[in-house]
């Protein structure tokens, strides 16, 4: 069975990355195998989780490149090519990617976002859902295009907003849904790529 070589890009905690690694380890038929975890922050706790799971890691500190976004992305792209990456999962990767990078990976890059897109693109999704008086929130996995949180939706999961919820309680409930949704959406994305 063919497995796509997967790179996961992170910037911090890495709990979604960990959920992907665990789902892959638990399923012999998972259509992806991790070849690289990359972070734009050298101190991202997720890097240690990946290390412990024996997945190669690389840290490229975006601050070393100053305002030269293109140089940072060129280096990242080189690392991805060297690892043989065939599909990229953005898992809490907090850098907006340029059209150059996106065009190189379009159709092979997915992202998880903590809202029911197209609602609440960008940051502070949970507070914005609370402020709007919404009765439900959720998360979305989508293909990445050159817009921010804008590409075609692969899968979504809904969670209720409960009386007394704060940004933190809603984020925690949504995160549990993210960890279940992301591996399933990755499988769907892999199947689509493998069918091409
Ligand atoms: C998640 O809520 C994800 O949806 C968002 O950033 C957060 C990352 O959390 N894009 P983690 O690093 O996966 O724990």
pLDDT tens sequence across 16-69: 999 999 999 999 999 999 999 999 999 999 999 999 999 999 999 999 999 999
Ligand 1 centroid to Cα of residue 12, in Å, is: 8
pLDDT (tens place) for every residue of the chain, 196 residues total: 899 999 999 999 999 999 999 999 999 999 999 999 999 999 999 999 999 999 999 999 999 999 999 999 999 999 999 999 999 999 999 999 999 999 999 999 999 999 999 999 999 999 999 999 999 999 999 999 999 999 999 999 999 999 999 999 999 999 999 999 999 999 999 999 999 9
92 Cα: distance to centroid of ligand 1 (angstroms): 4
Report d(CA 88, CA 80) in Å as an integer: 9
Q: Is 113 considered catalytic here?
A: yes
Cα–Cα nearest to 194, from 102, 86, 77? 86
pLDDT recorded at residue 1 = 82
Expressed as residue numbers, the domain containing 46 is 4-195
Pocket test for ligand 1, best of 9, 11, 16, 167 (most atoms within 8 A of CB): 16
pTM above threshold 0.85:
yes
By CB atoms closer than 10 A (0-12, 13-18, 19+), residue 142 is buried
Residue percentage of the chain with pLDDT more than 90: 99
Query: What strands lie across the sheet with 136-143, from one edge to the other?
Result: 57-59, 32-39, 4-10, 87-90, 109-113, 136-143, 153-160
- Whose Cα sits closest to atom 10 in ligand 1? 92
Q: How many domains does the chain have?
A: 1
Task: Provide the pLDDT for residue 48.
Answer: 98
Q: Whose CA is nearest to atom 8 of ligand 1?
A: 92
Asked whether 173 lines ligand 1 (CB < 6 A), one says no
Q: What is the CATH number of the domain that holds 151?
A: 3.40.50.170
Per-residue confidence (pLDDT) for residue 13, from 0 to 100: 98
Task: Please identify, by atom number, the ligand 1 atom nearest to the C-alpha of residue 15.
Answer: 14
């Amino acid at each position: 069975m063919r497995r796509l070589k997967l790179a996961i890009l992170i910037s911090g905690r890495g709990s979604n990355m960990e959920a992907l690694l665990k789902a892959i380890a638990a399923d012999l038929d998972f259509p992806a195998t991790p070849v690289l975890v990359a972070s734009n922050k050298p101190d991202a706790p997720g890097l240690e989780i990946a290390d412990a799971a024996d997945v190669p890691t690389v840290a490229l500190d975006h601050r070393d490149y100053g305002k030269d976004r293109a140089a940072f992305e060129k280096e990242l792209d080189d690392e991805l090519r060297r690892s043989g990456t065939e599909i990229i999962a953005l898992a809490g990767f907090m850098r907006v990617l340029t059209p150059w990078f996106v065009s190189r990976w379009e159709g092979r890059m997915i992202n998880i976002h903590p809202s029911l897109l197209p609602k609440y693109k960008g940051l502070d999704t949970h507070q914005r859902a609370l402020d709007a008086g919404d009765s439900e929130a959720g998360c979305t996995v989508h293909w990445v295009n050159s817009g921010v949180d804008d590409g075609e939706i692969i899968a979504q999961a809904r969670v209720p907003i409960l009386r007394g919820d704060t940004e933190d309680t809603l984020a925690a409930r949504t995160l549990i849904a993210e960890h279940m949704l992301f591996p399933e959406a990755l499988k769907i994305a892999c199947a689509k790529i493998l069918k091409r």
